[in-house]
Amino acid sequence: MKKLCLALVLMTTINGAWAAGSAVQLGTFRESDYAQRMVANAALAGVPASVKETKSADGTPMYHVRTPRMERQQAEQTVERLRKNQIDDCLILDN
């Protein structure tokens, strides 16, 4: 049985990130290698993604894996595509 992808709408501006529109966040990781693996898995599903490094409050590096900005409807379709490829823990970020 396939897991449901949790698609939450968040209002966010991590470090003043990315232009207006919706993006899909595929995950946040403490290890760069894990983030790069998620980018590769997204590519296999036909979804472009990239890694953005930020710092947590204590200075720990965090690696966010996200798609480029897109229209909201396209973001919803992207979540469905990811879910069909067993990438379940994704969020739609609206800005």
Running along the chain, 95 residues long, what does each successive block of 10 average in pLDDT?
32 44 96 97 96 96 97 96 94 89
What is the residue type of 59? Answer: G
Q: Residue 20: its pLDDT value, please?
A: 77
The pair of three-digit structure tokens given for residue 47, joined into one six-digit string:
């979804």
Q: Which of 86, 61, 76 is CA-nearest to residue 24?
A: 76
Q: Residue 10: its pLDDT value, please?
A: 34
List CB contacts of 75: < 8 A, sequence separation 6 or more: 22, 23, 24, 67, 92
The pair of three-digit structure tokens given for residue 13, joined into one six-digit string:
């501006």
Residue 53 β-bridge partners: 63
pTM: 0.76
Instruction: State the Cα–Cα distance between residues 20 and 37, nearest whole angstrom.
Output: 27
Q: Residue 58: its pLDDT value, please?
A: 95
**3-state SS class at 20:** coil
Q: Residue 19: its pLDDT value, please?
A: 58
Provide the Cα torsion 84, 87, 89, 92; round to 10°. Answer: -70
Q: Residue 29: its pLDDT value, please?
A: 96
